[in-house]
Chains A and B, each alone.
Chain A
Amino acid sequence: MRSTSEQDREFSEYVRRRRTELVRLATLLLSGDPNRAEDAVQVALTRLYVAWPRIRPNTRDAYIRRCVVNATIDDRRSVFRRREQAHAEVPDVPAAELEVADHAGLVTLLDVLPARMRAAVVLRYVEGLDVADTARALGCREGTVRSQSARGLERLRANLTRLEAAHV
């Protein structure tokens, strides 16, 4: 049985290695807002610490990604409840600001996607996870990941094309 100090040391070492990546993931899932992303990561890490003794080392990554995704979804829900903001359409942003290669522009386009579709796209194509790991992080079937990520890419491409056409 591990002692608490040993658990704390393991946890801190794990967080030291993974925190930056987790904040990046949360930021992309939360409209590029670093403050809300930090909050979501803190929530996720607290859940991880509480569950630490029960989680096998080889499943920690999947667990914490899932915690981050869920925390960001919770955050967005609360934001929607408070502010009643919803983006059914692409934000009215000049095409020049939505260059596909532009970081902020791409984050804006990602923000239009439904939450779980956005998570599938980010985990697959930003974080570079395979379908199986993405499915574990999202708690869904691999087939769902494939369809969600494919549709997400198509919508990103279509929205970009539409915006470019509108500003020619």
Chain B
Amino acid sequence: MEESPVQDVIDALGALRTTGAQPDAGTEQLAADLVRGHRALNRRRRLRIVGAGLTAAVAAAGLTAAVSGPFGGSAPSVAAPRTSAVRASSAPVTGTPRTGSPQTGSPQSSVAAGSLQLAAYTGAQPAGFKVATLPKGWKVRSVSQYDFVAVPPGTPERTMPQGAVYLADGIAVSLQGASRFSAGESLKKVSVRGRTGQLGFTGDKQAKWLIFPSEEGQKVLIQVPVELGLTDSQIVRFAQGVSATGDAKPTGG
């Protein structure tokens, strides 16, 4: 049989597999690959691209009822029955007027420490989490097995690729997944429903993470951008109403 006119080229290309051989990956190289992966995951927490088939954005699903005291004040029971003043509107709940910040200000500037109130959250529960309370007036951006994201009133909508959720401007609840505090980060021990959690900054200092064990054994991560201005106490008080279910799934970040 006559040889193809390009057979010599095919043979030469095949030989490239063995010529110019590369050295095998060393231990240090493998470790560096892992470190880069960890860093990327931490960055991803700020703007996470969630994988295929997840997270339908939930538009204005926050149905809340004011039941408790100041977010940063004396502790209301997060297990308090959702009784009073349930609002059945798809619009965000208009809670106590914010103090010290103009309505026209950015969402970040609108969160004044000590002035927010927790409100019982009666909207759609994420498949993977239970969220009992939200700051009054906040809107739910995403509910899924992977995450729960709520943003302050006035937060602009973000155009994201399909399946993506923008996290840098609201409270995000997810499983810890592969996210880790940076080595040497100063962490504060806090109590969330009797379990010890850790509160500290992300590696880029742009957000705080509260990581705590849930009843199902998973570790829950609550991310709060620093620019929202929530105090540690407020973050912990929000966490008191958050738990993961057996259906929760970790994201890539």
Contacts and interface: CB of A to CB of B under 8 A. Distances in A.
Interface of A: 1, 4, 7-8, 11-12, 15-16, 19-20, 23-24, 27-28, 32, 34, 42, 45-54, 100-101, 103, 106-107, 121-122, 125-128, 153-154, 156-157, 160
B16 A126 contact: yes
A19 B10 CA distance: 24
Interface of A is mostly: helix
Contacts of B24: 16, 19-20
Nearest to A9: B34
A156 B12 CA distance: 11
Interface residues of B, number: 39
Interface of B: 5-6, 8-10, 12-17, 19-25, 29-30, 33-34, 36-38, 40-41, 44, 51-52, 177-178, 180, 218, 249-253
A101 B84 CA distance: 82
Given A103-B20, A126-B13, A46 B40 contact: yes
17 contacts: A1-B249, A12-B30, A12-B33, A20-B24, A23-B22, A24-B17, A27-B22, A45-B33, A46-B33, A49-B34, A49-B41, A50-B37, A53-B251, A122-B13, A125-B13, A126-B14, A156-B6
Given A103-B19, A106-B16, A128-B14, A4 B177 contact: yes
Given A49-B41, A100-B8, 17 more contacts: A11-B34, A16-B30, A19-B33, A23-B22, A28-B16, A34-B22, A46-B33, A50-B253, A100-B9, A103-B20, A106-B12, A125-B13, A125-B14, A126-B13, A126-B16, A154-B6, A157-B9
Nearest to A37: B22
B23 A20 contact: yes
Nearest to B54: A54
